[in-house]
Amino acid sequence: MAEPSSKPNTTVFAPWTDPNAVPLIRFKNVTKRFGDFTAIDDLTLDIYEREFFALLGPSGCGKTTMMRMLAGFENPTDGTIEIGGQDMTGVPPNLRAVNMMFQSYALFPHLSVFDNIAFGLKRSDMPKTEIPDRVNEMLRLTRLEKFAKRKPHQISGGQRQRVALARSLAKAPKLLLLDEPLGALDKKLREETQFELMDIQEKTGTTFVIVTHDQEEAMTVASRVAVMDAGIIKQVDTPAAIYEAPNSVYVADFIGDVNLIEGTASASGEHAYDITYAEGVPPIKVSECTQDVAEGARVTFAIRPEKILVSQTPPEDRANTLEGTIIDIGYLGNLSTYHVELPGGQMVKATMTNSSRISRRDFTWEDKVWLSFRASAGVVLGE
Amino acid sequence: MKRAALILLPYSWLIALFLIPFVIVIKISLSDIALAIPPYTPNLDLSQGWAGIKAFFAQLDFDNFRFLTTDDLYWKAYLSSLRIAVVSTLLTLCVAYPLAYGMARAPDEWRPTLMMLVILPFWSSFLIRVYSWKAILANEGLLNQFLMLIGVIDTPLTILNTNTAVYIGIVYTYLPFMVLPLYSALEKLDGSLLEAAEDLGCTRFQAFWLITFPLSRNGIIAGCFLVFIPVMGEFVIPELLGGSQTLMIGKVLWEEFFSNRDWPVASAVAVLLLAILVVPIVLFQRNEEKQREAEG
Amino acid sequence: MRRLSWFNATSLTLGFAFLYMPMIILVVYSFNESRLVTVWAGFSTKWYGELFRNEAFLDAAWVTLRVAVFSSTLATILGTAAAYVLVRGGKFFGKTLFSGMIYAPLVMPDVILGLSLLLLFIAVGLDRGMLTIILAHTTFAMCYVAVVVSSRLVSFDRSLEEAALDLGCTPWDAFRSVTLPIIAPAVISGWLLGFTLSLDDLVIASFASGPSSTTLPIKIFSAVRLGVSPEINALSSILIGFVTIGVITFSISTKRAVVRRQREENAVT
């Protein structure tokens, strides 16, 4: 069973921060229109070599269109796409150093596993004598040696997925595109495969671009995630940055759970603001803000549920303490989620791990509790 | 560009061998008979240039069409063909529907075999199958022998060389064309719809009439087109099984062409028949396109 | 297993009896010693012998066979191209006309098709013979092939073709290596359909043939116009026999393939 490869974290992989690094893929003001419908709107993006890059967004946001333009199945209406410094306009799919792993796997039903993997190699410059060795190497990489002679309908769904992966990696492409590769797998297999994919990506040094609507998947595998909505990229960042420092309500809301409280901002110090959200209660103190906010502007304060502590008495060491009533409790085994109503009527969600085993819980419905969190625990968002 | 070549290949073939021939038929229908080879005038003589073309068009006329309207034979034949086509389409529908329905309700394991049994006659020679009815329907034929043997009749029934034989022949020959689209439509029917209907109070027959029959409409329409349109111009069946009373326009066209050697009149007959069939053919094509797009 | 109601069982029995009775009768009477259908004079194969000694029939059969093979092969190529254009061609100038020209011959009465083609051959000065029959048969057969193949193409998974392109195929290579092998059963059915239609055609061949190129249906027709002929019974039985063996073999092999595949798929899940 695959496990995440342990490597000493001496150098952090972050070519996007290096001013000298040359991106492998460049989208330059790319627009794609289908008739009246604009799928991609003036999009500019750089993706670097060896990245495991995720395009994340709901159905219809344009992520699949971006992928198909990289593969060569669609051409941009405006703008250019460069791969390896070469303008790809008009270059057909069969002449690109790009390979794709299809959502439905698209395995050729009339060919064996071996012949499926060899298919692309037979149409490349590789000498015929070297092809079987390469195919066997791919079979070993994806642990499919025993199934080489079988046809796609004679193997299971998870095995088919690995054949699709092996086939798409056989030509050692500069760029591998993965279209919702794990959607058809059950949860346990999906988790195993996620780590396998990361392993293979590192071993082969290929640049992966994955398209998915599953934010957990994107967060797990990707080095950077681009959150998309309606043809526009909202934010491109590492998973940690996306989660802890979203730049908009859309991104904050799309990834994981978040509490959104609207209020008015007033400056209270360097990179610090007070957010007034209700009458008669102290404002929320926010520090370490990365954005500048105008005095008196309407803002949304976003804080993740796990950053909020629920206690029966107000703690001394937290900057923010709010009083509330427990309306609902969700018990999930490892976590409990508390839905707490504030005096102003806002609902706040707080999660805490159930770190003790005793069956008698501290809190129950209708309890009056104190929510507390640090000043740096949340972010202020413009819209 | 490769794509243009791919489109042009079948396209130009059909234009040359389907469309242009029709244009020629129209031209001949406007010509006059002549004792010459070919047996019609005028002929387009391009060596005369524009004068030749003008002379050509000047000699075309609608005489043949006027002739068709004056002689009783023709409009009677058109009407008779129409009547026979409509009646035999309905008869074929009535015979095919129970068969297709039975096939659709049969257990799954039987279905491929049943399909095979329906298709097998279709693959066998149509000419031979029509011919076989001559042996059966003749006065001394097997049907009469059988009926006399069991005592139902005393003297042989005259069936061969009457319109009845033509109807039997048409229904027999065109049955697979009606059964297959019907079966295809009925097979797609969800059995739970009928169960729901019965659960809500319908009898078996009501459930059939209110649910199954309307939902098989596509199959009925497709099947009717596949029978009606070709039967309008049918030649072999009326020739082999019908009598001198059997007036069908296909026979008339054949005789005009081969017996009378009057190509212009034969062409006029064809043009008129085509004019009558244009609307059904276009409707048929539209229906097929719609079906194909619905499945795609 | 669902039971058939008595109504359905009766419909099926009567329907198939109606379909098959005439053919069975033909076969039975082809072995009749007597020339007449009215009298059974004992078992005899003499009509089969007469048939094989009939030069005219054998020549016609040979012509018919060659015409059928050439025209259905040509029709399959043209029809498959037409199907591809219909399903994948997108919008192009004159598509409605093209589509109309594909579907119209399917229902057009033979007499109209035959007459129009003959007039074309005369107009361009083409002598009537085997070539003209082949041209005529190819024309209507390609439409049948187009309909059969396009129906298969419509449900064909396009991502397979995209995968082929992605892995380095040119569009023609993708068609040849991936699409064609997978739609092969439909293409073969199209060929068989064209073959049968050609073998069986009377009206169009009558218009399009010349003095030296009589086809078997034309010969049969002139023989049976006057009445029952025992050699024709024998010929019919042979044809029916071929078709039956062909269809049964095809059905059995398809069924076996389907069963085998089911078993393989069940073994995996």
Per-residue model confidence as pLDDT tens digits over B139-194: 777 888 888 888 887 777 788 888 889 999 999 999 989 998 898 888 888 878 88
Q: Which position has the higher pLDDT, A139 or C253?
A: A139
- The confidence score (pLDDT) of residue A251 equals 93
Contacts of C188 (CB under 8 A, 6+ apart): none
pLDDT tens per residue, range B269-296: 898 898 889 888 888 888 887 877 776 5
Asked whether C204 and C110 are in contact (CB, 8 A), the reply is yes
Q: Which pTM does this prediction carry?
A: 0.83
Do chains A and B touch by CB distance (3+ pairs < 8 Å)? no
Asked whether B186 and B101 are in contact (CB, 8 A), the reply is yes
Do chains A and C touch by CB distance (3+ pairs < 8 Å)? yes
Distances C65 to A58, B233, C210, C217 between C-alpha atoms, Å: 60, 27, 16, 11
Greatest mean pLDDT range, B36-40, B111-115, C159-163: C159-163
Write the residue in C4, C115, C135 that is nearest to B267 by C-beta.
Answer: C115
Q: What is the mean pLDDT of residues A136-141?
A: 93
**Which has the closest alpha carbon to C168: A122, A134, A102?**
A122
Q: What percent of chain B has pLDDT over 70?
A: 93
User: Is the Cβ of C257 closer than 8 Å to some Cβ of chain A?
Assistant: no
In whole numbers, what is the pLDDT of chain A averaged over residues? 89
Encode burial over B75-91: b for 16+ CB neighbours within 10 A, e otherwise: eebbebbbebbebbbeb
Question: Which band of pLDDT confidence, cut at 50, 70 and 90, is reported for residue B211?
Answer: confident
Asked whether C133 and C218 are in contact (CB, 8 A), the reply is no
Neighbours of chain C (3+ CB pairs under 8 A): A, B
Write the residue in C159, C165, C264 that is nearest to A94 by C-beta.
Answer: C165
ipTM: 0.83
| The pLDDT of residue A8 is above 70 | no
Q: Do A153 and C165 touch (CB under 8 A)?
A: no
Contacts of C245 (CB under 8 A, 6+ apart): none
Question: Which band of pLDDT confidence, cut at 50, 70 and 90, is reported for residue B118?
Answer: confident
Residue of chain A minimizing CA distance to C159:
A106
Q: How would you class C6 by CB atoms within 10 Å of its CB: exposed for 0-12, middle for 13-18, buried for 19 or more?
A: exposed
Distances C83 to B291, C86, C138, C164, C186 between C-alpha atoms, Å: 15, 5, 15, 20, 11
Residue of chain C minimizing CA distance to B239:
C225
Q: Do A108 and C168 touch (CB under 8 A)?
A: no
Write the residue in C12, C110, C236 that is nearest to B233 by C-beta.
Answer: C110
Question: Which band of pLDDT confidence, cut at 50, 70 and 90, is reported for residue A1?
Answer: very low
Between CA B268 and CA B241 the distance in angstroms is 26
Write the residue in B3, B98, B123 that is nearest to C15 by C-beta.
Answer: B98
Q: Collect the ranges in chain C with pLDDT lower than 70.
A: 1-3, 37-38, 227-228, 269
Alpha carbon A318 to its chain centroid, in Å, reads: 31
User: Is the Cβ of B49 closer than 8 Å to some Cβ of chain C?
Assistant: no
pLDDT tens per residue, range A47-92: 999 999 999 999 889 999 999 999 999 999 999 999 999 999 989 9
* Gap from A334 CA to chain C (nearest CA, Å): 33
Asked whether C205 and C199 are in contact (CB, 8 A), the reply is no
Asked whether A381 and A299 are in contact (CB, 8 A), the reply is yes
Asked whether C63 and C130 are in contact (CB, 8 A), the reply is yes
According to DSSP, residue C125 is labeled T
Write the residue in A110, A124, A168 that is nearest to C182 by C-beta.
Answer: A110
Q: What is the mean pLDDT of residues A341-357?
A: 86
Between CA B245 and CA A334 the distance in angstroms is 92
Q: Which position has the higher pLDDT, A25 or B214?
A: A25
**Which has the closest alpha carbon to A40: A58, A59, A65, A57?**
A65
Distances A204 to A161, A258, B185, C255 between C-alpha atoms, Å: 18, 37, 53, 45
Q: Do C100 and B282 touch (CB under 8 A)?
A: yes
Residue of chain C minimizing CA distance to B257:
C115
Q: What is the mean pLDDT of residues B222-244?
A: 91
- The confidence score (pLDDT) of residue B48 equals 62
Q: Which position has the higher pLDDT, A10 or B246?
A: B246
Q: Which position has the higher pLDDT, A209 or B3?
A: A209
Q: What percent of chain C has pLDDT over 70?
A: 97
pLDDT tens per residue, range A325-340: 999 989 888 888 999 9
Asked whether B296 and C115 are in contact (CB, 8 A), the reply is no
Considering only A252-256, A347-351, B86-90, B153-157, which range has the smallest mean pLDDT? Answer: B153-157
User: Is the Cβ of C8 closer than 8 Å to some Cβ of chain A?
Assistant: no
pLDDT tens per residue, range A219-229: 999 999 999 99
- The confidence score (pLDDT) of residue A58 equals 92
- The confidence score (pLDDT) of residue C57 equals 86
Write the residue in A100, A102, A123 that is nearest to C168 by C-beta.
Answer: A123
Q: What is the 3-state secondary structure of chain A? A: CCCCCCCCCCCCCCHHHCCCCCCCEEEEEEEEEECCEEEEEEEEEEECCCCEEEEECCCCCCHHHHHHHHHCCCCCCEEEEEECCEECCCCCHHHCCEEEECCCCCCCCCCCHHHHHHHHHHCCCCCHHHHHHHHHHHHHHCCCHHHCCCCHHHCCHHHHHHHHHHHHHCCCCCEEEEECCCCCCCHHHHHHHHHHHHHHHHHHCCEEEEEECCHHHHHHHCCEEEEEECCEEEEEECHHHHHHCCCCHHHHHHCCCCEEEEEEEEEEECCEEEEECCCCCCCEEECCCCCCCCCCCEEEEEECHHHCEEECCCCCCCCEEEEEEEEEEEECCCEEEEEEECCCCCEEEEEEECCCCCCCCCCCCCCEEEEEECCCCCEEECC
Residue C136 with chain B: CB contacts under 8 Å: 17
Q: What is the mean pLDDT of residues A152-163?
A: 91
Interface probe for B, chosen from C19, C38, C193 (most Cβ of B below 10 Å), is C19
In whole numbers, what is the pLDDT of chain B averaged over residues? 84
Interface probe for A, chosen from C157, C162, C166 (most Cβ of A below 10 Å), is C166
Q: Do C247 and B119 touch (CB under 8 A)?
A: yes
Residue of chain A minimizing CA distance to C182:
A110
